[in-house]
Structure 1
């Protein structure tokens, strides 16, 4: 069976289950609306963005609010556990697993840059936990650069277990970070959260888990989208890092720095250009092009597209190739230091050290 026919058969097999789940509408996927900021508690909130699911095109509308006091941006109303399960389904797993696995596998340069940001702060052999590891591609790449580091991965999906089977991590833990921190406190010298914290319903609890699972003097490295990026304002709903409905919280760098200090960390580095992924314009162009083109066959749609719609979609995407190429060139032209100087970086990275014991023991001393 060809790849297209195989996918069509998988979509058809899922359609009835999606139809049943959507029978009650999308309101059942949300918690009650919040009236205070989940980061600082202020009640001074304002609407930041309203959008739809621009990647999977699942039904529903999503709103992001901004706190006028601390600048925190968060989804409001927020998805419930049922909603998170619905919107994540077939994105990283199922129908989307093969496509996303290929995307993540091709990001070797980005993974090496992440490891390079931490290497100057390592003092010897270390045990590293990558939270939200997916299929462990970062760990496999970083292990080549840091041969004295043993990498474990944690993920709520079966990705971590698959990463262990593939030999990309020493151990793959499946579950929540809070559960692992409770079972294994003080077990790691390094914890990484690369584009994970924005997905967490309670990011402050995730920082507490990081503190708990780290040994005294251990390192925490966090990459998150920067809601203060100029691209966020210039591109509006087409800015990829909004990533609705998956991204629940986007914290400005100052907020996260202060919270880390209050939680017992010392911030060692704040990086913008090294964390930047130069895809803002090409991603916006693709999202806009995909939005106007007829939909591909998806199980949450009432019926599969006919031959005419499929042909029209193919023609629309083909016509958009010059736009995508031009956007790619422009992205690369404003990458690196240029993007940071103009406030166009789309993410930032913080490296912090958990408070050491009174005797000043080294952060990642060999054992």
Structure 2
């Protein structure tokens, strides 16, 4: 997105400067006001923000108008949680019996479904995987990204927005030649301390040669970039013919958004600059040059989104530590409801998944 030709609004010191964005960046349609006066209810970035919606029924993109200036957007991340490793996570022995049993079933599912983990190859793993298979709620979270990494033919893999490198480490364990790129210097440092190949900065800055990668993953990044189309075009350039791109991002057309409105956790102003519907994400892939693409919705973040959205609606703030039990149970019930709703509306869950091939 070119900001050079627009008038920049100077605000108070330490506030994020912004520029007007009256039209949809995908189809050019003039936006309609959706929410006004939104504040950062998670990390206290200064300013108030308005969201517009594209009225084109074939699009439906949401975006901030005015939008934070690219040079200033770093201010919105000054107290943002980093992707650094959670070194204070309890070891498995410290978990309660119920959580140990749940993790045992997850391990059995990964072993049965992807032949991955210490339990791979053990007989009757499918029996212990049955609770996961029957509930279906956790399958999306366990399948992604393993469904792309646990394949017979490995090659070069790139994780755009790789954070502390947990996915890169998994990819290496499965035989990929993996590397990542991220804007977060702390996350990049954490990944490099693990011996992973990670670059700091934007994707285009890295100047990868044409057709460098067989697989590109991008998890909850596209909503943070000023020019999603340029980002996907760059990914298309560095992908080899027949290569795969997998993108996950909040779903502006989800039941969660319809239920919570301006309190929906997926809005996250001012860091989420543009929030996609299934139609707009598919259109973005097409304009970027991908000839084969499929957009679906997943349950991976539904429990978290409903838990946080309920807290935002009731208290005006998200809760970044472990939330109380009741909101967590509410989130799990919502995930079950969305699982049923997906039977007749595949794009109803709170996370979109774009799978595209070059």
TM bucket by the smaller chain? Answer: 0.7 to 0.9
Task: Give matches, 1:266-285, under 5 Å.
Answer: 266-273=291-298, 275-285=300-310
Question: What does residue 357 of structure 2 align with?
Answer: 353
Cα gap change, 1:228/1:332 in structure 2, threshold over 3 Å: closer, same or farther?
A: closer
Cα gap change, 1:333/1:88 in structure 2, threshold over 3 Å: closer, same or farther?
A: same
Distance 2:353 2:87 in 1: 23
Question: What does residue 193 of structure 2 align with?
Answer: 165
Contact 1:280/1:331, CA 8 A, preserved across alignment:
no
Contact 2:182/2:201, CA 8 A, preserved across alignment:
yes
Contact 1:63/1:76, CA 8 A, preserved across alignment:
yes
Question: What does residue 55 of structure 1 align with?
Answer: 42
Question: What does residue 200 of structure 2 align with?
Answer: 174
Question: What does residue 247 of structure 1 align with?
Answer: 272
Distance 1:183 1:321 in 2: 45
Cα gap change, 1:268/1:148 in structure 2, threshold over 3 Å: closer, same or farther?
A: farther
Question: What does residue 261 of structure 1 align with?
Answer: 286
Query: Among 100, 109, 113, which residue is 2:143 paired with?
Result: 113
**Higher RCO structure, 1 or 2 (CA under 8 Å, sep 6+):** 1
TM-score with structure 1 setting the length: 0.71
RMSD of equivalent CA atoms: 3.4
Cα gap change, 1:55/1:139 in structure 2, threshold over 3 Å: closer, same or farther?
A: same
Per-residue deviation, residues 93-121 of structure 1 (Å, max 9, x unmatched): 4xx96779969xx999766421234258x
Distance 1:100 1:335 in 2: 33
Q: Structure 2: any 5+ residue segments left out of the alignment?
A: 1-10, 91-102, 108-137
Question: What does residue 35 of structure 1 align with?
Answer: 22
Q: Using the TM superposition, give the Cα deviation of residue 253 of structure 1 relative to its aligned residue in structure 2, in angstroms.
A: 1.6
Distance 2:339 2:12 in 1: 47
Cα gap change, 1:234/1:23 in structure 2, threshold over 3 Å: closer, same or farther?
A: same
Distance 1:54 1:98 in 2: 24
Task: Give matches, 1:178-197, under 5 Å.
Answer: 178-180=204-206, 182-197=207-222
Q: Using the TM superposition, give the Cα deviation of residue 288 of structure 1 relative to its aligned residue in structure 2, in angstroms.
A: 3.6
Distance 2:336 2:216 in 1: 33
TM-score with structure 2 setting the length: 0.72
Contact 2:302/2:331, CA 8 A, preserved across alignment:
no
Moved more, 268-277 or 215-224: 268-277
Q: Using the TM superposition, give the Cα deviation of residue 268 of structure 1 relative to its aligned residue in structure 2, in angstroms.
A: 4.8
Cα gap change, 1:261/1:291 in structure 2, threshold over 3 Å: closer, same or farther?
A: closer
Contact 1:276/1:336, CA 8 A, preserved across alignment:
no
Contact 2:85/2:164, CA 8 A, preserved across alignment:
no
Q: Using the TM superposition, give the Cα deviation of residue 258 of structure 1 relative to its aligned residue in structure 2, in angstroms.
A: 2.9
Cα gap change, 1:148/1:274 in structure 2, threshold over 3 Å: closer, same or farther?
A: farther
Alignment partner of 1:186: what SS?
Answer: coil
Distance 1:223 1:71 in 2: 17
Q: How many residues align?
A: 298
Distance 2:255 2:240 in 1: 37
User: Going by fraction, where is helix more abundant, 1 or 2?
Assistant: 1
Question: What does residue 126 of structure 2 align with?
Answer: none
Contact 1:281/1:330, CA 8 A, preserved across alignment:
no
Contact 1:273/1:337, CA 8 A, preserved across alignment:
no
